[in-house]
Structures are given as C-alpha cells and as structure tokens.
Structure 1
Amino acid sequence: MEGWEKKLEEQNSHLKAELESTCADLKLVNNDLDSIHSELGIICSELASVHADKESTEWIIEIQESQIQRKRHEASQLWKEQDNCLGELEEE
C-alpha cells in the first residue's frame, strides 16, 4: 500500500471514529431532550391544576364576599327595625 493510501485510510478511520462519537453524543442529547419534554409535560399539567385551583378559590372568595354583603345588609335592616321598635316603645 502506498503512503497516501495509508494516510487516507487513517484519516477515514479517524473520521469514522469521530462520527461514531458524535452519534453517541447526539443519542445522549436526544435522551436528555426526551426527559426534558416529559418533565415539561408534567409541569404543564401541574400548572393547569394550579390555575384551576386558583379559579376555584377566586370563585369561592366571590361567593363568600357576596354572602358577607348580604349578611351586612340583613344586619343593617335588623338594626333599622330594632330602632323603629324602640322608637315606637318610647312613644308609648
């Protein structure tokens, strides 16, 4: 075998080894990306759950605030009625 053929074969062998190493690295990166994709799916699911919980909590707060306002109004009416009754008793 001539010198240039041997050198060409060595370069070819070196390039083949680099290609195999790069392929192995790409497989590792691909596995990492798959793991990240899976983790992002879990995170998105958890975020959707948190968002739903937040909306439920806001809805509950709105209902409670409405109930508080209604109770305040009822209490105000009772105070007015009590004042009217006391006024009538004083007149008698």
Structure 2
Amino acid sequence: MPFDDDLAGMLQDAGEPMTLAGAPLHGLFDVDGQVMLEGGVTSTTTTATVLASVGAQRNQTLVRQGVSYLVRQVLPEPPDGALHLLVLAKA
C-alpha cells in the first residue's frame, strides 16, 4: 500500500471533516498549532494538517464546523512533504 494511502486513512480516522475551497476533506485541526519561524523561533497559531495532494493554496478558505478560516501559509511537513501544515486566520 502506498504511503499516501496510509496518511489518507490516518486523517480519515483521526481527523475531522472540513472543506477547502468548497472541496470536502479530512484533516487535523489545532487552535494551538506550533509553527517554526525563521531563526528557530516557534509561534502558536491556528493550523490544519492536510494531505499535500489536496493542493492547498494561500488565500483559500477552509471551513470547519461552520467557521471560515483564511489560509495564510502552506508549509510542507518533514520528512517528505506528503502532509502540509496550513497556517490559518479567522476569515
């Protein structure tokens, strides 16, 4: 089974439903997500972790439990970028 299939199953089981630019998906939502900034500084912000294959882009709208968020940044997650961390702001 390809690794991406394992990730999709993990997000289906552990994640929650949301939409990105109107398309349904499952992801991990975190109001206290940790984001590494330049110089090794860590910031706490609202984030969602989704499969890279969903094609998330800056300025798209993510909706979770009826609340809209603007995608501020799309950050590939180590080690291979198969997951993307979306940095969000309430829309």
TM-score, length-scaled by structure 2: 0.16
Which of the pair has more CA radius of gyration?
A: 1
Judging by fraction of residues, say which structure has more strand: 2
Judging by fraction of residues, say which structure has more helix: 1
Q: Which has the higher contact order (CA 8 A, sep 6+)?
A: 2
